[in-house]
């Protein structure tokens, strides 16, 4: 890890495939090198569409989130404050995700919609692409199940955003050690 960069593993659960129409429902994030330093946020839905299959995968309940989730502005403010505290204004936060284009698109959209800026900027590392480069594998071999066989992490994916962010952090750490 560079002295100027801080890798942050981020995972999201959503109500569908694209921001703007579908809602960001939960965010889990942790420091890659210290996964117990983490944040988990559940958001009130703000999108107009719902993909029922996406909700089955997340296990989240929209009615519960409407009543108990954070308003998106509050959630993104808390997430930005957590990132700023972790970086201490001395390091650049670098987004790390397993299928980063999907997760980053929601995070970027919500940061810009609610706060006007994204503390990650345009930096994102996709763990699938990193694994592909590390192993010389084809894209089809970048499923997390293939990574688990190759890297032997102790954690597993659960579709809870924080659990998955910590799982991803372990995968990325194991790849960086190679």
Which residues are identified as catalytic? 159
Tokens of 83: 């990132």
Question: Token digits for 152?
Answer: 């032997």
Helices (H), the chain: 52-58, 62-68, 72-87, 100-115, 127-135, 144-151, 161-177
What are the CA-CA distances from residue 67 to residues 37, 43, 96, 162, 165 (Å)? 27, 10, 30, 21, 25
Phi then psi for residue 78, to 5 deg, are -65, -40
Q: Which residues 6+ apart lie within 8 Å of 155 measured at CB?
A: 163, 166, 167, 170
- Largest Cα–Cα separation, the chain: 47
Contact by Cβ (8 Å): 117, 111: yes
Q: Which of 115, 32, 40 is nearest to 82 (CA)?
A: 40
């Amino acid at each position: 890890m560079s002295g100027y960069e801080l890798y942050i593993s981020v995972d999201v659960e959503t109500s569908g495939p694209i921001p703007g129409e579908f809602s960001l429902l939960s965010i889990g994030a942790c420091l890659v090198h210290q996964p117990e330093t983490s944040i988990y946020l559940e958001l009130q839905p703000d999108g107009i569409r719902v993909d029922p299959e996406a909700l089955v995968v997340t296990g989240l309940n929209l009615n519960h989130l409407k009543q108990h989730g954070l308003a998106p502005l509050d959630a993104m403010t808390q997430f930005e404050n957590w990132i700023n505290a972790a970086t201490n204004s001395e390091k650049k936060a670098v987004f790390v995700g397993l299928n980063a284009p999907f997760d980053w698109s929601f995070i970027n959209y919500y940061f810009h919609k609610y706060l006007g800026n994204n503390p990650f900027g345009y930096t994102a590392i996709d763990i699938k692409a990193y694994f592909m480069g590390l192993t010389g594998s084809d894209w089809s071999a970048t499923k997390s199940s293939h990574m688990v066989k190759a890297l032997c992490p102790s954690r597993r994916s659960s579709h809870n955003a924080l659990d998955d962010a910590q799982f991803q952090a372990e995968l990325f750490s194991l790849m960086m050690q190679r």
